[in-house]
């Protein structure tokens, strides 16, 4: 059976395979490890605003495929990961997908650093922040709170070292702050307060020596976020009464 299948594959032209990718994207993606074919599969899978709703069986498939792509250092890894994360609709599936992305950092901390994973996670949370039920004062799931806190911790650690923090550290922190703002998670305000204090006490340094205006601009952004969140918190408490 496998021999016959291999022979059939040998006789197919590229245009035939691309047609298969358009008609059967999931099966073709798995069976044809060719970059152009897999990109055509992903194009089909992403069309019409992610018509392929992610349910548990699809999630099982996606996670298995992504794990294989990571091991193979496949060029479509990030594209498949983004498809899985952004096509998940139901809260349970979104949370599962975000957990999976965070878990990749433990498997390969270089390829899936906070800088890489925060781009995906912040983008997904901002896309549907209401999934985390902002009518409550503390809407973020614990695992996502911990992830945000880890980013704050990394920024503080890097900022207090001799070299100071780099642009990538700042952008990573900014995405963590965007997650807090998108979900109005007021329980993380102490993290913001702590960062502001370290800035004001000049314990956090910017790596671009002499570019003090950049550091001051970063501090101003964080302060404006603090002001916004406290205002939203007052409104939320007032609405609860």
pLDDT in tens, 15-29: 889 888 888 999 999
H/E segment holding residue 16: helix 14-23
Q: Could you tell me if 91 and 163 lie in one domain?
A: no
Q: Could you tell me which of 67, 65, 19 has the C-alpha nearest to residue 44?
A: 19
What is the residue whose two structure tokens read 């040998």?
A: 10
Cα–Cα distance, 181 to 176 (Å, whole number):
9
Residue that is last in its domain, among 84, 112, 140: 112
Cβ atoms within 10 Å, residue 149: 14
Q: Could you tell me if 138 and 240 lie in one domain?
A: yes
In a domain, 187, yes or no: yes
Cα–Cα distance, 25 to 45 (Å, whole number):
7
In a domain, 32, yes or no: yes
Domain around 234: 131-241
Q: Could you tell me if 107 and 176 lie in one domain?
A: no
Cα–Cα distance, 100 to 233 (Å, whole number):
30
In a domain, 31, yes or no: yes
Residue that is last in its domain, among 112, 139, 167: 112
Query: What are the residues whose beta carbons fall under 8 Å from the beta carbon of 182, sequence distance 6 or more?
Result: 122, 125, 126, 129
Would you say 167 and 182 are in contact if contact means Cβ atoms under 8 Å apart?
A: no
Q: Could you tell me if 165 and 80 lie in one domain?
A: no
In a domain, 239, yes or no: yes
Residue that is last in its domain, among 54, 80, 112: 112
Instruction: Count how many domains the chain has.
Output: 2
Q: Could you tell me if 143 and 88 lie in one domain?
A: no
Which of 58-67, 116-125, 133-142 has the least mean pLDDT?
A: 133-142
Q: Could you tell me if 96 and 173 lie in one domain?
A: no
In a domain, 165, yes or no: yes
What is the overall mean pLDDT for the chain?
87
In a domain, 68, yes or no: yes
207 has a pLDDT exceeding 50: yes
75-120 pLDDT, tens per residue? 999 999 999 999 888 888 899 999 999 999 888 888 899 999 999 9
Q: Could you tell me if 106 and 141 lie in one domain?
A: no
């Amino acid at each position: 059976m496998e021999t016959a299948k291999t022979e059939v594959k040998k006789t197919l032209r590229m245009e035939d395979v691309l047609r298969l990718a358009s008609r059967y994207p999931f099966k073709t993606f798995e069976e044809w490890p060719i970059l152009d074919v897999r990109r055509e599969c992903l194009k089909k899978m992403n069309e019409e605003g992610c018509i392929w709703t992610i349910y548990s069986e699809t999630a099982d498939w996606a996670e298995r495929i992504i794990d294989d792509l990571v091991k193979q250092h496949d060029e479509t890894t990030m594209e498949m990961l983004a498809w899985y994360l952004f096509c998940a609709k139901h809260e349970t599936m979104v949370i599962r997908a975000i957990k999976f992305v965070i878990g990749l950092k433990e498997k390969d901390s270089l390829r899936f650093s906070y800088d890489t994973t925060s781009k995906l996670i912040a983008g997904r949370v901002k896309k549907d922040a209401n999934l985390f039920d902002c009518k409550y004062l503390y809407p973020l799931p614990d695992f996502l709170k911990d992830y945000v806190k880890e980013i704050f911790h990394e920024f503080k650690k890097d900022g207090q070292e001799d070299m100071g923090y780099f642009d990538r550290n700042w952008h990573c922190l900014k995405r963590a702050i965007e997650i807090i703002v998108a979900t109005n998670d007021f329980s993380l305000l102490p993290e913001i307060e702590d960062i502001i204090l370290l800035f004001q006490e000049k314990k956090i340094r910017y790596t671009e020596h002499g570019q003090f205006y950049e550091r001051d601009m970063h501090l101003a952004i964080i302060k404006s976020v603090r002001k916004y969140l406290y205002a939203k918190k007052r409104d939320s408490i007032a609405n609860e009464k």
